[in-house]
Structure 1
Amino acid sequence: MSMLDWSFVTLLSSALLFFLFALFSVALSIMTRRKLRPLKKRPPKNKRKRKQFILKRRKFEKQVKRQRNSGIILFVLMLMTTGGAFYTRHYQMNNLNANDSESIVQSYYLLDEVELQLSNIKNNENPQKSIKNLRELSLSLSSYGARRAYQGLTEEGQILLNRHFILLKELGTNLSSQTVDSLGNTDTMEGYQKDVKKVKDSQKKVFKRFKVNEAALKSKK
């Protein structure tokens, strides 16, 4: 379980405990009020009994006030922890976890590098070195086929992310068998450049959905 999973479970469990303690305080308050009810009548005239009567009534009044305040505090704590638990869950469902975030960042740089190597081959700039680099990159992209989006995300988020991982895998698998000669064919080269663009379009959707700061990624290149 991730830290957010533990936070959600802890907050929800705390909310349940606070709720039970609040109910217990309310129940005690009701019981004390019942004990206090007979003491609401006029105190006895006997001085000693009158003093005991008043002391007992004040004692129960203080208990009722203390139990009522405890119930209110516990209820407020229950609301706060419940709100915290649901906020944590909402955050989990709509934000990338550490593993998915790392995968998206790595694939961002891989795609840029693939695009660069294809451009070098197209422009005949040290094509042998570029094809070697391209094969290494394609292996990294192919590994995305084994990745699955975090199941705590919304169904829509999981589908979007898994579809992007599949596109990355397919691009890597297709590129792995290419040679300088095959990529020297204009149609083949244009086809792969279109494939890269397709994956980058998918990447933009992922960035938009999960609010990934592309400018920050560019600045780290």
Structure 2
Amino acid sequence: MLLLALDTATPAVTAALHDGERVLASFDQIDARRHGELLLPAVDRVFTEAGRDRGELTGVVVGVGPGPYTGLRVGLATASSLGAALGVPVHGLCTLDGIAWASGLDEPFVVATDARRKEVYWATYADARTRTDGPAVDRSSELPSEVAALTAVGAGAVQYGADFPRLRADLPQHQSAAALAALAAERLAAGTGDGFLPPLPLYLRRPDAKVPAGYKVVTPG
């Protein structure tokens, strides 16, 4: 097994190679404005550091969000292109599941990432492997009381810490492709395929850009 994992659904640009037993190489950089510029060099870097070739890949793992429209589609387009070019399957995983896995928690908790507009993308978990609700998007101040009361991890929880009284700011805040790859490797080794999603974006809401209403047509009819 040789998995390439990547994710651009959060401000993190992240890529990793996993051989089914361990992470061979990884790259993480927090830069919400340079997903398109940084991702392919990151992929090249992890292959070089691991001393492996793209022809050895058995699959691509990609975070499908939720996340902002522009950043999210960079990772998905790259994953789909690599999968098609190399003839390997592309496995989608919820981005929040990767952050949950990296937390290592074995108690109920919530993962929250920044969704802008004073909102968070969130999901709840029974433990680091098991999502119980979500993903969803809401204002942090309007989350169900039973969700807000949980142990909370993620950049969204840190940003709106006043709404998460049990915040764990010491745990991972952004996505890590290394965690995403490890989670995928475990699920693939189990042989069930449970938990994978199509490599399609989880936007959860419409994009900010809208077609102007009532604009004047100036070209001849």
Where is the helix percentage greater, Structure 1 or Structure 2? 1
Q: TM-score, normalised by structure 2?
A: 0.23
Q: TM-score, normalised by structure 1?
A: 0.23
Where is the strand percentage greater, Structure 1 or Structure 2? 2
**Structure with the larger RCO, 1 or 2 (CA within 8 Å, 6+ apart):** 2
